[in-house]
Amino acid sequence: MPELPEVETTRRGIAPHLEGRKVTRLIVRDSRLRWPIPEDLAIQIEDQTFSQIRRRAKYLLMDIGGGSLISHLGMSGNLRLVPIGSPVGKHEHVDIELDSGMALRYTDPRRFGAMLWIKAGEMHPLLSRLGPEPLSELFDGERLYQCSRGKSMAVKPFIMDNAVVVGVGNIYATEALFAAGIDPRREAGRISRARYQILAEEIKRILAYAIERGGTTLRDFLGGDGQPGYFQQELFVYGRGGQPCKVCGTELSECRLGQRSSVFCRRCQR
């Protein structure tokens, strides 16, 4: 599933091609995504100009006309720019044609993504309960410490809770906990303020670096320019269960937390 760095990479890839461009036509080949594409979407965006392409958590917010187009890439979706009239594949559900001669194409084999609409000034329910952005000043170790008090859940699913902080998905939670030396199985409420400060700093560092490197190439993800990310080559623990730790050489362990696989080093993490 594309995580925050992949979505931010997509935003940076498509924004220069969309901002200031007018939509000439919307083509919906299959509206059956996680939620149906609104029937009146063409009325909302055709002959309108994109003003800004933003991101909130893993959602892309494309401001146009009297509102915003909300896009979520789901488990396997991607957005990329193609010339208008390019051959269409089986899972290429939406084209937003632009006055530049290019089209923003949405591809989603599993159809778990979304393309929704909100009017200007409205707050969509999907966005209303989200915590702070991890790279913002609103997120730090003190927030993790305060939110964790009394929590008996493991620390990994705790930092993956979008009400605590958005966008820390499975890959980057695994990597940040390793970098901070924290066992992902530890109770969130039993971790000290000092260790949460280290964890918050590692979350920020790893996410920022992953964005710089273009995200993580996993299965179907492609950036907005059609190019894969390169952070996967530098993963320390995610997806490496049974392999030697890159730091100490100990065989990496694997467990399930919150129905997700989690890899960690019993020696480096405590």
22 among known catalytic residues: no
Q: Which of 92, 40, 35, 100 is nearest to 65 (CA)?
A: 40
pLDDT at 232 over 60: no
What is the rounded end-to-end Cα distance, in angstroms, of the chain? 28
Q: Average the pLDDT over 84-100 and give the result.
A: 95
The confidence band for 233, taking pLDDT boundaries of 50, 70 and 90, is low
Q: Report whether pLDDT(145) > 90.
A: yes
Average pLDDT estimate for 119-143: 95
**What confidence score (pLDDT) does residue 219 get?**
39
Catalytic residue among 5, 6, 11, 58: 58
**More confident: 27 or 219:** 27
The whole-number average pLDDT for the span 107-120 is: 94
Catalytic residue among 3, 8, 175, 202: 3
pLDDT of residue 227: 54
Percent of the chain with pLDDT over 70: 93
| 25 vs 121: CA distance, rounded Å | 25
- Ligand-binding annotation for 91, yes or no, is yes
72 annotated among ligand-binding-site residues: no
* Tens digit of each residue's pLDDT (9 = 90 or more) over 10-30: 999 999 999 999 999 999 999
Domains along the sequence of the chain with CATH: 4-119 (3.20.190.10), 141-264 (1.10.8.50)
Angle between helices 193-212 and 170-180 (to 10 degrees): 130
11 is known as an active-site residue: no
Where residue 220 falls among pLDDT bands split at 50, 70, 90? Answer: very low
Residue 102 CB partners (closer than 8 Å, separation 6+)? 17, 81, 82, 83, 84
> Residues 214-226: what's their mean pLDDT?
51
Q: Is 244 a catalytic residue?
A: no
Max Cα–Cα distance, the chain, nearest Å: 59
Rounded CA gap, 135 and 144, in Å?
14
Mean of pLDDT over the chain: 92
At residue 228, φ and ψ (nearest 5 deg) are -75, 165
151 carries a ligand binding annotation: yes
pLDDT 10s digits, 41-70 = 999 999 999 999 999 999 999 999 999 999
Give the pTM. 0.87
CA distance 48 to 60: 18
Catalytic site includes residue 240: no
